[in-house]
Amino acid sequence: MLAVSFQCRTPKMPDHPWSAADATRHIGALVDSLEGAHAGMTRAALVVECNAHHTEAGRSSDELVRAGHALARDRDVRIAVHMSGGTLSMHMGFTKYRRQTGRSDVGYLEGLGVLDDRWLLKHGIHFSDEDIAIVARRGASVVYTPTSEAIRGGGLGPWRTMLAAGVNCALGTDGPAVDYSVDMVEQMKACCYLQSVRYGDPSAVSPRQALEMATINAARALGMERSIGSLEPGKQADLVLFARDRPHLSMVHDPVAALVRATRGADARMVMVNGLVAYEDGNFPMVPQADQVMADAGACARAIVKAAGFEPLAVPRWPAVAA
């Protein structure tokens, strides 16, 4: 699934080339070109950034949010947005903007009358009980990105509380721009461990709940639970086979607990996507030149880092060793 950012002119960005109507037309055309492409394997969504941080900075506005939601409703696609994330600092982050606006991010969407089951609310670290009740009532999904939030010191969201309230909770990675991990097995493990820390309870989120968050709940968040997210007749054959003979897996006999608490993404032996083998024992049958593709991607990344002047930041600075 590819998410397209909905952007247009705002009061604090008067020089943006598109009005809300222009953005609706151009971005709508792009969504149409993506949705269902590649034999139905490509799906489209929107990104409508509208948390307090983006609104205060002028990258969003009431008009932008309403127009983006109207386009998503017209095209029947999902909307991704960052919600109630960041630190509790009074000088920057979530609390600063909460004090300035007098509202939560969820309250903003509710006030505009646009919050519904199309929204994928990412993070939800600082959701209040009122926020959770609103999200549950409107049918929106919330996406937990545990390693991303941990690496940034963003905080621990109330995920056991959300699950108990009937909110559809999914797992994600947040991507390498803010985290070094895109390993979904690692996200399941971190979900269980970090929620145990938050609630002081080792059963705060069980391995089975974490597995559901990574699979069927995630499919439900995307509106695709009828075709993916579980192994059932009539659904796409998306599956991963993991090795069970690794030493680090020999201590756990419950297969679900072993998968979530002890397995690594690198333990995958075979990955099947829609009935086609995409990976098997180190090989990518659908990409004959996989090694060259990865080498080219690495070369491009290094060139971009150099052109941006960031090479010095990648130089190791080990402590000097005494003679």
Domains of the chain: 2-228 (3.20.20.140)
pLDDT exceeds cutoff 70 at 320:
no
Q: What is the pTM of this model?
A: 0.91
Rounded mean pLDDT of 209-220?
A: 98
Rounded mean pLDDT of 18-27?
A: 98
In DSSP terms, 81 is beta-bridged to 121
pLDDT exceeds cutoff 80 at 241:
yes
pLDDT exceeds cutoff 60 at 323:
no
Please answer whether residues 45 and 75 qualify as being in contact, where contact means their C-beta atoms are separated by less than 8 angstroms: no
Distance CA 219, CA 226 (A): 8
Half-sphere exposure of 103 toward its Cβ, with a 13 Å CA cutoff?
16
pLDDT recorded at residue 18: 97
Q: Tell me the pLDDT of the chain averaged across its residues.
A: 92
pLDDT exceeds cutoff 90 at 314:
no
pLDDT exceeds cutoff 60 at 277:
yes
Rounded mean pLDDT of 137-145?
A: 98
pLDDT recorded at residue 175: 80
pLDDT exceeds cutoff 80 at 151:
yes
Rounded mean pLDDT of 125-146?
A: 97
Residue bearing the bigger pLDDT, 204 or 154: 204
pLDDT exceeds cutoff 90 at 167:
yes
94-108, 117-131, 145-159, 308-322: least confidently modelled range: 308-322
Share of the chain above pLDDT 70, in %: 97
pLDDT exceeds cutoff 90 at 248:
no
Q: With helix as H, strand as E and coil as C, how does the chain read?
A: CEEEECCCCECCECCCCCCHHHHHHHHHHHHHHHCCCCCCCCCEEEECCCCHHHHHHCCCCHHHHHHHHHHHHHHCCEEEEEECCCCCCCCCCHHHHHHHHCCCHHHHHHHHCCCCCCEEEEECCCCCHHHHHHHHHHCCEEEECHHHHHHCCCCCCCHHHHHHCCCEEEECCCCCCCCCCCCHHHHHHHHHHHHHHHHCCCCCCCHHHHHHHHCHHHHHHCCCCCCCCCCCCCCCCCEEEECCCCHHHCCCCCHHHHHHHCCCHHHEEEEEECCEEEEECCECCCCCCHHHHHHHHHHHHHHHHHHCCCHHHHCCCCCCCCC
Question: Interior CA angle at 32 toward 28 and 34, to 5°?
Answer: 120
Tens digits of residue pLDDT in 251-272: 778 999 999 999 999 999 999 9
pLDDT recorded at residue 90: 63
Half-sphere exposure of 257 toward its Cβ, with a 13 Å CA cutoff?
8
Rounded mean pLDDT of 2-15?
A: 95
pLDDT band at 245 (very low <50, low <70, confident <90, very high): confident
pLDDT recorded at residue 176: 80
